[in-house]
Amino acid sequence: MDFLTTLLLLVVLLAMVAVAFLWWKLKSAGSAKQVEIHSSIEKLKAIGELSVFKAVTKEIVTQFDHDWGDFGKKWLGWLYSSKKMAMIFEFEIDFRYDLRKSDFEVVNQTNGTYVIKMPPCFHEVHIRSISFYDEQGSKLMPWLLPDTLNGLFGKGFGETEKNQMVAMARAHAEGQALRLISGLTSEVEESAKATLTSVAKAFGAQSIRFEFAKPTGQVDVQMDKAVA
């Protein structure tokens, strides 16, 4: 009887040890998996600059505003006041996130949720073209052609004035871009979420939450070589 009791106790003890060992292994495997997933998601930084949204738009300017200043009054006022011309801008806005920045973070929550903290979105504005629309002749005139410039403004319009117009066009496009950007923030963030969620889940993440930094309100305006 004592032998059977001892044997039974030994079997129970071995079973308890086996269960404890199995629980420890499963816990260790789960922890290792979480670390592995977190390490994999951190590799999102290798993407570098993530382009998530592009907007291409044309704007017709039929009157000069404060962006053009005295230059606009001198050279453009008579064109617009007499309704002879309209200036047409075509520009592209590229919305990007730089995932190499220090404020891009991947945080592993205790409940298994991963929080991705996004850096501020930056915006590149490319002015593709500037042209004048002749309302009387119903035709477009590329603004950089010397004959076009002289025909519009006279011989007093030279290289200096042309450079001034480029600078004013850049300022005007920047103002218009900022207005467009403020209205597209939600669409841009949704695009970033969709892209990074699909990548993170491919690495094994189950639940992802995003935190977006406030926009800086700054844009980088570039002129295509054909325009500048």
Per-residue pLDDT reduced to its tens digit, 73-101: 666 665 655 556 667 778 888 999 988 88
pLDDT at 182: 84
pLDDT at 212: 93
Q: What is the pTM of this model?
A: 0.63
Contact 61, 87 (CB under 8 A): yes
In one-letter notation, the amino acid at residue 137 is G
CA angle 22, 26, 31 (to 5 degrees): 150
pLDDT at 197: 86
Report the length, in residues, of the chain: 228
Contact 197, 54 (CB under 8 A): no
> Domain residue spans in the chain?
47-223
pLDDT at 126: 86
Tokens of 99: 């995932």
Tell me whether residue 188 is exposed, middle or buried, using C-beta atoms within 10 angstroms of its C-beta: 0 to 12, 13 to 18, 19 or more. buried
Residues 6+ apart with CB under 8 A from 152: 79, 85, 132, 141
Regions of the chain short of the pLDDT cut 70: 1-47, 62-69, 71-86, 110, 112, 134-158, 161-162, 203, 225-228
Query: β-pairing, 113-118 with 105-108?
Result: antiparallel
Strand partners, 188: none
